[in-house]
A = this chain, B = another copy of it.
């Protein structure tokens, strides 16, 4: 039996607590699987006196988390503090510089500083592991970096935020509006008091930026992710989508297009027959398409203490076993420079919802605007019919360039019969 792997955990919230519990509960099998013991030797968290229901016997408490980077007898620092700046970033940087392996669940940190941190890790000859940062318990980083390493990945996409998936699923199941379901989700603890990171798509964008780097072997480029949330999705959109054979899901999608990489996060209409349409509430799912393996799908719980701790410990097991893989699948010097495909060049079909005054000629004006942009229509649905009153009109277009769609919607928005700004949801062929 080799020396134990000595682990310091910074942050004892839900994930930190579950990580400690997992390592203690599975000590026997972890030791068998790694050929050595995994031992938490140090912890650091904000309030020493809070009762977290954890067994901290024999574990050194460190008030200043930064000390974990330099205290003797630590092999790995597990960063579960969160946030892209401040103490989380400082601790990870200092730990890597001190030649310590780092395991983190911090997607914001990896999305914003992944390149620099990967460089530090490689320079120091240590691992920077972040399985828990994307899709909770699903071992998707490992699948992309190792399991599909024989493939040129053409596309990777998924449902990466359980809060949004819960809200959209519940809106559909209960026929409720966005605000009502968000309020419920907050009351139930499924959504944060400040829900912006989730519902505005930022959390999904963080995760997508990381997936993109691993899948395509390129630098992490969070700023290149087109990001749109789900606040504007209405109960009408969901019921229209249903009627047309679609569900609305918030997806993160990265695609290789003519040598550039398109990264986008936005609500999508996806056909009811696709597996991704049926991913329930709190689950995440990722689809990776490779040139040899074809399409592969991964599904599991995307958040929560247990699933996230499972991912943290998988990284620790890799380190304990001595497995080391470059941070983003290829060495930092081989990472391709980011080459973003601009969103105005995106090509796809669109769902358009208009609130118009029901009067003669309105549809002639609308269809003329699409014709001006050479956009052809696949179908139209109208709800209600009462002359002079507001009615909802839904249009599904054939594939077109985003720039043309934006121009058409600008023109349509200026029509005197439009009672509110035209709304658009992209359709995704999966």
Extra A-B contacts (11), CB below 8 Å, given A26-B152, A150-B314, A294-B300: A137-B294, A146-B146, A146-B314, A149-B313, A150-B309, A293-B306, A296-B301, A321-B323, A321-B324, A323-B323, A323-B324
B139 touches A143 (CB 8 A): yes
Contact A143/B150 with A293-B310, A296-B300, A299-B297 known, Cβ cut-off 8 Å: no
A331 touches B149 (CB 8 A): no
Residue of B nearest to A331 (CB): B35
Q: Measured between alpha carbons, how far is A26 from B295 in the docked complex, in Å?
A: 18
Residue of B nearest to A19 (CB): B150
Q: Which of A142, A293, A298, A324 gathers most chain B CB within 10 Å?
A: A293
Using Cβ atoms and an 8 Å threshold, which residues of chain B touch A318? Answer: 146
Q: Does A290 contact B (CB under 8 A)?
A: yes
B307 touches A294 (CB 8 A): yes
Q: Measured between alpha carbons, how far is A259 from B142 in the docked complex, in Å?
A: 30
B217 touches A33 (CB 8 A): yes
Interface size on A, residues (CB 8 A): 57
Contact A22/B150 with A33-B330, A142-B143, A298-B298 known, Cβ cut-off 8 Å: yes
Using Cβ atoms and an 8 Å threshold, which residues of chain B touch A297? Answer: 297-300
Q: Does A45 contact B (CB under 8 A)?
A: no
B293 touches A137 (CB 8 A): yes
Q: Does A234 contact B (CB under 8 A)?
A: no
Q: Does A151 contact B (CB under 8 A)?
A: yes
Interface set, chain A 217-265, CB cutoff 8 A to B: 217
